[in-house]
Structures are given as C-alpha cells and as structure tokens.
C-alpha cells in the first residue's frame, strides 16, 4: 500500500483514544490480520509509553567484518549517514534488528536528536544503549532490553524507509504505529481510518458494558456485544 495513502483528518486523534488491545482485535475481525502486535518489546519508561504516528523504518543486518568502519548509522559512508536528520516530526522510528539484543541500536545522543526533530516514539526489536539515561528523556522508547555495546558489535545499518520486520510484524513505511502500556500495534495505512472509527466506538461501548456488569448485569448476552446490545447502547447515549 502506498505510503502516501491519505488519512482522514481525525484518524490519528481518534486512534489516540483506542488501546492496542482493541486495535489488534479489530484487525483480526475486519481483515483477518493476526500478526499486528510487536512481540518481545517493552517500554524503557512505563510512565512514558503512549504514542502514535506513521512508521519511519530502518533495517539492520548481521555485520560483515569488512564493513565495520561504516557499520554505525552515523558513520560517514554508512547507508544511513545523514538520514537520521531527515525523519519527519511526528514519525515513529521503527528499527528491525532481527531481534538481536546483544548490541544497542541507538544511544542517548541520537535519541536527543530525535527529540529535537519531534519524533513521536521509537520501537526496536533489539537492544538500546544508555537505557537509564533514555528513560529520563521525553521520547518514549520500546525495545527488548538494555545492551551496552554499540550496534557494530553484531549489526550494521543496511536500509532506510524499506519494508521491514520488527518483532514478528511486517512494517511498511507510513504504516500507523500505536503504543501504550499494553504494547505496540501496527496498522496498515489503508485500514487506519476504519480501525479509528470502529475502535473509538468499541472503546465507548466496552466502558458502557463494563458499567452494566459492575451493576450486576450478567456477562452472557451482553459481551461480546450483539446487535441488540449495540442498539441499547446507542439509545442510552441519545
């Protein structure tokens, strides 16, 4: 799907109200997609883990020794040299490390640049350096864990704005990435509007259903909501 597929003007704001649990459930229901949750990653700072934005992708591959001098993404001669300065504000940087957590994709200096650029969040299916420092910075980061060695210990930068795999999820540039305390979900861009509309309503319906259950209503026949339940909900709102 083309990265320039337009989104409705309110889609991102609607999605801010929708949990990753709801998003992944909806993607199973409306599109049969069962691989939309990034596995094995956790927030560096659980108090700062909510973000949403279009994916900006970076791909690492296992290092080849004769490329060691240009393996770092900021090294002159690296395929990513200068590209980290071009990430659009509001983007979510998604990095494919092949689930290698023996080295760190980025450290606090690069993260400081991402903060200055207005990047919304970072998702890495490998390690991160300087985690204790990054945890105090304003940029939300999900990764597999702390890894003090720099990325050239095991990996080298290979590509930018390509289709990648991150934590078992195929990610295309400009897919919509949503993160919260429950995890990270990736929405194919062409489904984002539909997920936003249906997700916003589902969140509201489930709040209403939970209230009925707390007041003594039985679970059976109420959840998951049937057409009759949805009609009762809409009448209660009117």
> Per-residue confidence of the chain (238 residues) as pLDDT tens digits?
567 789 999 999 999 999 999 999 999 999 999 999 999 999 999 999 999 999 999 999 999 999 998 888 888 988 888 999 999 999 999 999 999 999 999 999 999 999 999 999 999 999 999 999 999 999 999 999 999 999 999 999 999 999 999 999 999 999 999 999 999 999 999 999 999 999 999 999 999 999 999 999 999 989 999 999 999 998 988 8
- 42 and 115 in a single domain? The answer is yes
Residue 17 lies in a domain: no
Structural domain range at position 206: 194-237
Last residue of a domain, one of 187, 203, 220: 187
- 139 and 210 in a single domain? The answer is no
Residue 11 lies in a domain: no
Q: Domain with 130 in it: what CATH number? A: 3.50.30.40
Tokens found for residue 21: 């649990």
- 46 and 153 in a single domain? The answer is yes
**Residue 2: its pLDDT value, please?**
60
Unique residue bearing structure tokens 């590509």? 159
Describe the chain by its helix, strand, coil percentages, rounded to 5.
35, 25, 45
Number of domains in the chain: 2
Residue 18 lies in a domain: no
- 165 and 76 in a single domain? The answer is yes
**Residue 238: its pLDDT value, please?**
81
Residue 15 lies in a domain: no
Is the alpha carbon torsion for 195, 11, 45, 141 positive or negative?
Answer: positive
Q: What is the three-class DSSP state of 55?
A: strand
Residue 13 lies in a domain: no
Tokens found for residue 209: 């259903």
């Amino acid at each position: 799907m083309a990265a320039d597929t337009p989104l409705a003007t309110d889609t991102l704001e609607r999605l801010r109200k929708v949990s990753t649990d709801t998003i992944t459930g909806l993607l199973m229901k409306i599109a049969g997609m069962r691989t939309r949750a990034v596995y094995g990653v956790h927030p560096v700072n659980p108090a700062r883990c909510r973000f949403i934005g279009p994916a900006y992708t970076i791909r690492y591959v296992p290092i080849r020794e004769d490329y060691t001098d240009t393996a770092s993404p900021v090294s002159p001669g690296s395929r990513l040299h200068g590209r980290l300065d071009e990430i659009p504000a509001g983007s979510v940087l998604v990095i494919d490390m092949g689930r290698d957590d023996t080295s760190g994709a980025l450290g606090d200096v690069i993260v400081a640049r991402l903060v200055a650029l207005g990047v919304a969040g970072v998702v890495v299916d490998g390690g991160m350096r300087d985690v204790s420092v990054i945890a105090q910075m304003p940029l939300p980061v999900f990764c597999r864990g702390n890894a003090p060695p720099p990325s050239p210990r095991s990996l080298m930068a290979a590509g930018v704005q390509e289709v990648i795999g991150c934590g078992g999820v195929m990610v295309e540039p400009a897919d919509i990435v949503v993160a919260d305390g429950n995890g990270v979900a990736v929405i194919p861009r062409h489904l984002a509007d539909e997920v936003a509309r249906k997700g916003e309503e589902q969140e509201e319906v489930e709040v209403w259903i939970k209230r009925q259950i707390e007041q003594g209503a039985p679970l059976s026949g109420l959840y998951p909501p049937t057409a009759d339940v949805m009609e009762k909900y809409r009448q209660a709102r009117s």
